[in-house]
Amino acid sequence: MENDRTGALIRTGSPKRGSTRMSKKVAVILSGCGVYDGAEIHESVLTLLRLDQRGAQVKCFAPNIAQHHVINHMTGEEMPETRNVLIESARIARGAIEDIREADITEFDALIIPGGFGAVKNLSDFAAQGAGCKVQAQVLAMAEAFAEAGKPVGLICVSPALAAKIYGPGVTCTIGNDADTAAAITQMGGAHQECDVSDIVEDRDRKLVSTPAYMVAKSIGEAASGINKLVDRVLELVQENEEQVT
């Protein structure tokens, strides 16, 4: 574990496995189904798998809105059809998903948002607007509620591009090493910290954990290495919150 000059933690080792009591409730926001127009499927499944392995209770949410567009994942070409973000996200969640408008953050200890272009096309318009982006209203309200309550949040892949919109200026996060995305984060008032695929960056004051996943990963195994650390650390932060209360 290293400290950078912003006070963020770059964690290069494994989080402490034995310190987390497994009764945590975690909300996961999905953004569709498929890397180019929705949630990144590997990242989403790896997140859900690790949460299940650690004994957490999980509920998935998505906004009930139209996708920005639909991409043919074989050719990369836009298709002449429309799809719904909630309905598409239900594919990943095997139908166990709710409209984000139904979310009650008092029921949850933490929030995790996997990446994929859906995070910057459906949950926000960052892909088109960059630093001038807006976060979808219901997504922003939910994420801000977790932040204001001091509950841990995990942002994966490109979703940390939304961190400054959620937390305001000064928030520290990582998307790995993509210069353009990092520059946009800085322009929005965030502090970007470069990070290897197997590591996480933690903003200690805000209880925000991020990892680059497929912003850097060349394989599902590489993506898993950082995602597992992120999930483990988010659950540790939940435990620390509980210990402070008691």
Active site residues: 157
Contact between 111 and 154 under an 8 Å Cβ cutoff? The reply is yes
Q: How many CB atoms lie within 10 A of CB 142?
A: 25
Q: What is the DSSP string of 87-145?
A: HHHHHHTTT-EEEGGG--GGG-SEEEE--STHHHHTSB-HHHHGGG--B-HHHHHHHHH
List Cβ neighbours of 93 (8 Å cut-off, separation of 6 or more). 30, 48, 60
Report residue 46: phi and psi, to 5°.
-60, -40
Handedness of CA 186, 40, 216, 224 (dihedral sign): positive
Instruction: Find the helix or strand (DSSP H, E) in which 57 lies.
Output: strand 57-62
